[in-house]
Structure 1
Amino acid sequence: MNPPIRVVCGSCLRSVEIGSREGSAPGGGLCPFCGEPVDSESPGTVSRARMDEETARGGEASPSSWAGMWSRGSLGSLGRFQLRERLGDGGFGEVYLAFDPRLDRDVAIKVLKQANPTERVMERFFREARAAARLDHPNIVAVHDAGFDNGRCWVSFHLVSGRPLNWYRDHHRLDPPTAARILRELTDAVDHAHRQGVIHRDLKPSNVLIDDLGRPRLIDFGLSRRSDVESSLTRDGAIVGTPAYMSPEQAIGQSRLVDERSDVFSLGVMFFEMLCGQRPYPASGSGNYSEIATGRKSSAKSRAPSVRALNPAVPSALDRICQRAIAQDPADRYPSARALADDLDAWLFDHRKATRPRGRALAMVAAGLLACLVLGTGLHAAYSRGDRRPTTKAEDGGGTGPAAIKALLEASSPSDEVPTAAGPAPPAKPKAAIPSARFVGSTHSGKFHLPTCSSVTQITDGNLIAIESPEDAAARNLKPCGICKPLSSNRGKKS
C-alpha cells in the first residue's frame, strides 16, 4: 500500500490525502469536500514527492528554492497545515499564515529555513517552542504545536491580528501615559517569563505585536535561555541579540552574566525610543560588536542619557525610571522586571489620581444641576396643585374665608389664634403680641432684644416673653442681643 500524500485542493484550499489506496495515482483524485479534481502537481499544491526531492536537492544551501514554490497561488502545505500567506522573514526561519484543518483555525507557523537540520540546529530551533510553552500570560503569544515534516522543523503559534511596535510607534501618537502603559504590560509579561526561568535576550520592537485592542504581545523566544537549565548552545564570547537593544554584557559576549537585568535594559531602550523617537545608545549599523562593546565600556561610568533632553514633555519621574532601566552597569539597573513594573504602576496610579479631580468636579456640578431641576419640578408641581384647589363662596367674598381669617390672626394676639382647615396660621408679630413691652426676650436663645430687632420674628410663641427692664432681663438670666444692642439704645433714650 502506498503511503498517503497530503496536498491542498486548489479549489477550496482544504487539506486532502490522496494516493492512500493501492494503485491510485498520486496526481489524481477528487476532493472529498468540493468534488473538484485534485492534482498534486498543480501550481496551488506541493506534493510529498516534490517536497522530498527539493529537500534532498536543496539541503542547507538553498532554502529560498523551497520557499519559492509557495509564492505561486496558495502556498502549498506542510504536514497538516495549509500555508496561505507569508508574514515575515528572519535569519533563522520564516513565518506564515496557515490554516489548521484538524482544529479548524488559523495559526501563525514558523518554519526553519534550513532543510534536514543537524541535531544542534534542531535543538536551538525547538528551544523557542519549549521556552514559550512554559508561559501562560495574556501578553505573550501562546504556542500551539511543534513538529518535523518533510525535512522541515515548524512551530505553530496563536495568530495575533496586529502590527509590530516599531510600526505602531511610527503611525500612532504615543504620549507618555500611553508609552508607560504599554511598557508596564510588556514588563509584566517579561516578569512572568523570568519567574518561569526564561530569559528572552532579544527584546526589541519587532518582537512585540500591538493587537487590535492596543495591547502588547511578546513573541519570538528563539534566543531565549532557561536559567534553570545548563545549556551549551551559547558559549561565552558568542554574541546573541540585536545590537541596538542588547545590554552591554551581551555586547561583549559575556553570556554567563546575562540575566533578568539584561532584559530590563532592553525594555528601557524600547521605553526611551517610545518617549522621544530615538535610541539612547545608537548602535553601529555594520554590526561591529567590538566597537559597540568598546564604546560602551569606555563610558561605563557616565550617566545614562535623559529623555527630557530630547522631549521636555516627558515627566521627570518617567525620565528617572527610564534612566535607571538603561544604566550601563547592571548593578545600577532595576534588579528585576517586577521592580520596573512596580515603579511604572506607581506613576500610572499617581497620574490617574491627578487627572481624576477634574472629572469629579464636572460630575459634582452635573449632580447639583440635576438636584436643582428635581427640586424645582417638585415645587412647581406642589404649587400647581394648590392653585387648582376649588374655591368656595366664602373665599370669594365671605367674611369667614382663609384671607379674612389670615387678616384677623395678624391683628390678634397669640391667644386669639383660630385653627382653620387651610392649615395653621402664621406666627403673630411680636409687637402686636406684646404692644407695651420695652424689650422682647427668648427663653430658647437666652437673649433679649428691642421689639424692632429682626431676630424677634424668629422667636416662636412658646419662647416669647415680655421684658420691662434690663434688670428684669438679668433676673431671667437673659443676655442682651448682639445685633440690636438693647442696653445702648436704652441709655440713649434716658439721656
Structure 2
Amino acid sequence: MSSPVRVVCRGCLRSVEIGAGDDLDVEPSGECPFCGQPLDSRSPATGSTADGDGADDSNERNGVSSHSTSDWVTTWSRGSLGSLGRFQLRERLGDGGFGEVFLAYDPRLDRDVALKVLRLANPSERVMERFFREARAAARLDHPNIVAVHDAGFDKGRCWVAYHHVSGRPLWWCRDHHPFDPAAAARILRELADAVDHAHQLGVLHRDIKPANILIDDHGRPRLIDFGLARRSDLDSSLTHDGAIVGTPAYMSPEQALGLSRQVDERSDVFSLGVIFFEILAGRRPGLSATLATPNATSLDGQKPNRADRTSPLAINPAVPPALNRICMRAMADKPDERYPTARALADDLDAWLHKQVGRKRGGAAKKAVIATGLVLLSLASVASGWMLANLRPWGAATRGASPEISRLLSPSTDDDGREIPTSTPTQAPSPTSREPHASTVALGDSRFVGNLRKKRYHLATCDDVKAMAGANIYRLKDLAEAVELGLKPCDHCQPDSQPVPQSKE
C-alpha cells in the first residue's frame, strides 16, 4: 500500500492528494474538487532547454527511447509530483534551463530538502559531470550564508542534488516589495562578501552571483545558492574554454563578458557583488551589460567594454551615504586592479562602516540620556529651592522670641568659661572691636544677680566670673526665686545664696 500522491491540477494549478496503487502507472481518477476538471492530463511535458554542451545533449535526447523514460517521468508528466528515489516530491519551487527545484521530503532523515533535479533524462557523462560539479563545489563549503548540500545521486535516469531547504524569498523579490535602507543593504552585502570570501579561501569561484541566486530567509539573512557555474581552482577543468561566456550578462564582470574565462578570478565575483550592492541601494541595475568590443581578444588590456553610461547609486538615490557610494563604485570598477582585491577586503570596509554607525547611535543615545538626566536634576533642584524659600524663615526670625535655652543653643559656641570659640581657620585675627562685649561693657542695671544659662549657674553682679562672661551668655535675674525656678546653681566663689534678702519697705 503506497502513500497518497499529490497531484497538481493543470486547470487551476492547485494540488490535490489522491490515493495511489502499487503501480506508479495507475492513472489518477476523479475530478479536481476546486475547478471540476479531470486530474488526468495526457499531454506530456515537451522539450527541455539545452545547456552548454548542446551537441552532446541533443544526441542524448535523440537516443532516449520510450522504454528508457522512467516511471517517475511518466507520473510527473501526468501532473503528479510523485517521488524520486527515496524523496517524495511535494512542491515545485523553481524552474531553470538546466533543471528544476522541488520541495521534497526525505523519509530517511525525516526532513524537508530542496531537491534539484536535472531536466534531461539519462544524460551523458559530460552532462552529469557538469551537474555534479555544482554539488562537489558546494559540499566543500560550510558557512551560515551558503546553503548546504546534504546528498546527491542518480535514480531512475535522473540526476539530483539535495540541498538544505531555506524558507525565504529571492533577493530580487525582497528588493521589489520591501526596499532596503542603506544600513540593511550594507549588512546584506557584508554577509554575502563574507560567504564569497569563504568560498574563495577553499578555491571555489561562484561566477554567477545574482539576486536570483540569493535567498533572504525568514530572519533576514542572505543565503547564497546555485554553484552550477562554479569553478574550483585546484582542478584544471575542460568544461569551460576561453571564448565561452559563462554567467548572467547583467552581473558579469568585463573579463567574463569578453569571454576571457582564464582571467576570471576572485575579483570577478567582487564585481558581481558590487552590481548587486548598486541594485539594492539604488533600486535598479547600473546599466546594460558589457559586450565584446574586439572579437577574439586574448587580453583585457586595451579592451573597453561597451557599457551604457554608468551612474552612481548616490545620483539615483540621494539617501545613499557617500561612503557606501564609494565602496560600491570601487567594487564595480571595470579594471580588476581597481577593484577590491578580495571579497574579504570588501567585507571589511562594509563592516567598518556598520560599526561606525552603531557607535554614532550609541553616542547619540548617551548624549540624550545625559541631557535628560541634567534636566531632571535641574527640575528637582528648582523644586527643592522653592520649597526651602517658602517654608524656612530667616535666621533672625527663627531666633527671635525663642526661649533663653534655645537662644543659647543657636548662639555661637563658647568655652567653659563663657568665652566664644573662634571659627575654624580664620583668615585673620579678629579686631578688638569685633569681639563679643564682656559683662564689664554690658549694662546690668539694678540687677543684683546674673545667670549663666549655658553653665547652669548664677552669680552676684559683682562676681569676677561675671566680668569674664560673654555678653550673649548673661541673663539678668530679677531675684533668687527666678534663679531657683530656672534650675540654676549658686556660684562657689561669690555664694549669692548666702546674701541676705533685702526686706521690702512697708
* TM-score w.r.t. length of structure 1: 0.66
Structure 1, unpaired ranges of 5+: 1-6, 14-34, 46-50, 380-401, 419-431, 435-440, 449-464, 471-495
Structure 2 partner of 1:407: 407
User: CA distance change for structure 1 residues 277 and 227 in 2, over 3 Å: closer, same or farther?
Assistant: same
Question: Matches of 1:65 and 1:305 in 2, distance apart?
Answer: 54
1:316 has 2:322 as partner: yes
User: CA distance change for structure 1 residues 412 and 78 in 2, over 3 Å: closer, same or farther?
Assistant: closer
**Contact kept? 2:25, 2:71, Cα under 8 Å:** no
Match of 2:236 among 230, 234, 240: 230
Q: Which runs of structure 2 are paired with 1:90-169 in the superposition (5 Å)?
A: 90-169=96-175
Higher Cα Rg, which structure: 2
Question: Matches of 1:85 and 1:292 in 2, distance apart?
Answer: 46
SS at match of 1:190: helix
Structure 2 partner of 1:16: none
1:40 has 2:24 as partner: yes
User: CA distance change for structure 1 residues 74 and 187 in 2, over 3 Å: closer, same or farther?
Assistant: same
Deviates more, 1:214-223 or 1:347-356: 347-356
**Contact kept? 1:187, 1:341, Cα under 8 Å:** yes
State the superposition RMSD in angstroms: 4.2
User: CA distance change for structure 1 residues 246 and 11 in 2, over 3 Å: closer, same or farther?
Assistant: closer
Q: Which runs of structure 2 are paired with 1:343-358 in the superposition (5 Å)?
A: 343-358=349-364
* Equivalent residue letter for 2:24: S
Structure 2 partner of 1:10: 4
1:443 Cα deviation from its structure 2 partner = 5.5
1:281 Cα deviation from its structure 2 partner = 2.9
Deviates more, 1:338-347 or 1:408-417: 408-417
Structure 2 partner of 1:27: none
* Equivalent residue letter for 2:89: L
1:304 Cα deviation from its structure 2 partner = 6.1
Q: Which runs of structure 2 are paired with 1:408-427 in the superposition (5 Å)?
A: 408-411=408-411, 413-415=413-415
Match of 2:271 among 261, 265, 269: 265
SS at match of 2:117: strand
SS at match of 1:331: helix
**Contact kept? 1:146, 1:155, Cα under 8 Å:** yes
Deviations 1:430-481 (A, max 9, x none): xx958xxxxxx8663x624xxxxxxxxxxxxxxxx634499xxxxxxxxxxx
* Equivalent residue letter for 2:414: P
* Equivalent residue letter for 1:111: V
Structure 2 partner of 1:60: 61
* Equivalent residue letter for 1:101: P
Match of 2:430 among 450, 466, 488: 466
* Equivalent residue letter for 1:410: L
Structure 1 partner of 2:341: 335
User: CA distance change for structure 1 residues 72 and 211 in 2, over 3 Å: closer, same or farther?
Assistant: farther
User: CA distance change for structure 1 residues 372 and 274 in 2, over 3 Å: closer, same or farther?
Assistant: same
Question: Matches of 1:93 and 1:417 in 2, distance apart?
Answer: 113
Match of 2:191 among 185, 188, 209: 185
**Contact kept? 2:179, 2:280, Cα under 8 Å:** no
SS at match of 1:466: coil
1:181 Cα deviation from its structure 2 partner = 0.4
Return the structure number with greater helix share.
1
1:361 has 2:370 as partner: no
Question: Matches of 2:407 and 2:210 in 1, distance apart?
Answer: 90
**Contact kept? 2:194, 2:347, Cα under 8 Å:** yes
* Equivalent residue letter for 1:60: R
Question: Matches of 2:303 and 2:364 in 1, distance apart?
Answer: 48
Question: Matches of 2:109 and 2:70 in 1, distance apart?
Answer: 29
* TM-score w.r.t. length of structure 2: 0.64
Identity %, equivalent residues: 60
User: CA distance change for structure 1 residues 373 and 148 in 2, over 3 Å: closer, same or farther?
Assistant: farther
1:350 Cα deviation from its structure 2 partner = 1.2
SS at match of 2:313: coil
SS at match of 1:110: strand
